[in-house]
């Protein structure tokens, strides 16, 4: 069996332990704290490393030039500097963790590259409806500025995440292949049910097409494709549709970091905690289906990552 890498959990969720504030609903979400409380951001990274995460994602999901200019009154240059400083917080946490612990593998710092829809703050990252009217060029140009800032600051991998539509995923694959030929990355989708990504395309077909296209391009840097910020019950059928009929050697390496199983609505917030199945219970079946990277997203804390790590180690 190939090695399974444990990711971190829901950054805003664990951050709330340190800032004690309701973060959901802010147009900058957790990205505001990069400016207002960087120490809490540093501590949150450290929590996940101490829980056993081998990859930590920068707090840049909701960080954009437009967002920082509008809601923090920064210039374009200042916005890009804040994104770079945010990467440094993850690096500092890794340095501190490695100084305090015996480490066999250097943890990776992964740039969180959220979808185009996230900065619109209209929920379209969960529908992908902008695929119907925004051009590929616009999406690539918007992503490029943040990607360049993260790479200049020194990340190991790009986590292109919560992508709701095939069009944006293909635009990103094309851009990574042409403009960033030496940069490793993954692509993970937002899915609306156990068969389709948010915009409605079939998940298994989309994943297969992307993987085949990467191979056709000769792009060896796409480390995995998968899902994040989804209900954990969707994951097994989604992964089964991708890999179950493939010979072992031809399986696509998959990535999964789902929500806790709680469901969010603007009116009531997060509901259903008492009905959640702990994520570590799913780990054996996901690994069996080809998951090579496993972590958590919204409503998952450092303690959840600790339990996922134990489940992975027991395999």
In whole angstroms, what is the distance from residue 292 CA to residue 156 CA?
A: 17
What's the total number of domains in the chain? 1
Left, alpha or beta for 52 (phi > 0: left; psi -120 to 50: alpha)?
Answer: left
User: What residue has token string 């079946």?
Assistant: 285
Check if the beta carbon of residue 285 is closer than 8 Å to that of residue 28.
no
**Residue ranges at the known binding site:** 229, 297-298
Left, alpha or beta for 211 (phi > 0: left; psi -120 to 50: alpha)?
Answer: alpha
CATH number at residue 68: 3.20.20.330
Q: What is the pLDDT of residue 127?
A: 95
Q: Which residues pair with 116 in a beta bridge?
A: none
In whole angstroms, what is the distance from residue 296 CA to residue 301 CA?
A: 8
| Cα 226 versus chain centre, distance | 10
DSSP annotation of 109 reads E
292 contact partners, CB below 8 Å, separation of at least 6: 2, 3, 4, 5, 223, 224, 253, 254, 255
pTM assigned to the model: 0.96
Secondary structure (DSSP) of 180-213: -TT-EEEEEE-BSSSSBBTTS-BHHHHHHHHHHH
Q: What is the pLDDT of residue 177?
A: 98
6 contact partners, CB below 8 Å, separation of at least 6: 52, 53, 54, 55, 294, 295, 305, 308, 309, 312
User: Residues in the chain with pLDDT < 50?
Assistant: 1
In whole angstroms, what is the distance from residue 85 CA to residue 81 CA?
A: 6
Pairing of strands 263-265, 269-271: antiparallel
Pairing of strands 254-257, 222-228: parallel
- Domain limits for position 265: 5-313
* pLDDT tens digits along 111-158: 999 999 998 888 899 999 999 999 999 999 999 999 999 999 999 999
What count of other Cβ atoms lies within 10 Å of the Cβ of residue 120?
17
Q: What is the pLDDT of residue 266?
A: 66
* pLDDT tens digits along 70-80: 999 999 999 99
**Residue ranges at the known binding site for Zn(2+):** 229, 297-298
């Amino acid at each position: 069996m190939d090695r399974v890498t444990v990711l971190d959990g829901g950054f805003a969720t664990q951050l709330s332990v340190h800032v004690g504030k309701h973060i959901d609903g802010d147009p900058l979400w957790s990205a505001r704290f990069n400016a207002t409380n960087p120490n809490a951001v540093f501590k949150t990274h450290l929590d996940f490393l101490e829980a056993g995460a081998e990859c930590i994602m920068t707090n840049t999901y909701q960080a954009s030039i437009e967002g920082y200019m509008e809601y923090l009154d920064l210039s374009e240059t200042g916005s890009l500097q804040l994104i770079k400083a945010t990467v440094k917080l993850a690096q500092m946490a890794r340095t501190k963790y490695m100084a305090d612990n015996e480490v066999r593998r250097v943890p990776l710092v992964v740039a969180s590259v959220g979808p185009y829809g996230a900065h619109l703050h209209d929920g379209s990252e969960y529908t992908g409806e902008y695929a119907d009217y925004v051009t590929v060029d616009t999406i690539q140009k918007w992503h490029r500025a943040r990607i360049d800032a993260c790479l200049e600051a020194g990340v190991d991998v790009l986590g292109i995440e919560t992508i709701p539509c095939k069009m944006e995923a293909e635009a990103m694959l094309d851009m990574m292949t042409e403009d960033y030929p030496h940069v490793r990355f993954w692509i993970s989708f937002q899915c609306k049910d156990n068969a389709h990504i948010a915009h409605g395309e079939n998940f298994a077909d989309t994943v297969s097409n992307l993987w085949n296209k990467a191979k056709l391009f000769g792009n060896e840097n796409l480390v995995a494709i998968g899902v994040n910020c989804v209900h954990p019950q969707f994951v097994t059928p989604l992964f089964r549709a991708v890999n179950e009929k493939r010979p072992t050697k031809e399986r696509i390496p998959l990535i999964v970091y789902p929500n806790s199983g709680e469901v969010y609505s603007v009116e009531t917030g997060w509901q259903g905690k008492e009905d959640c199945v702990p994520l570590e219970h799913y780990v054996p079946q996901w690994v069996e289906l080809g998951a090579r990277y496993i972590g958590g997203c919204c409503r998952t804390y450092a303690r959840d990552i600790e339990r996922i790590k134990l489940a992975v180690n027991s395999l």
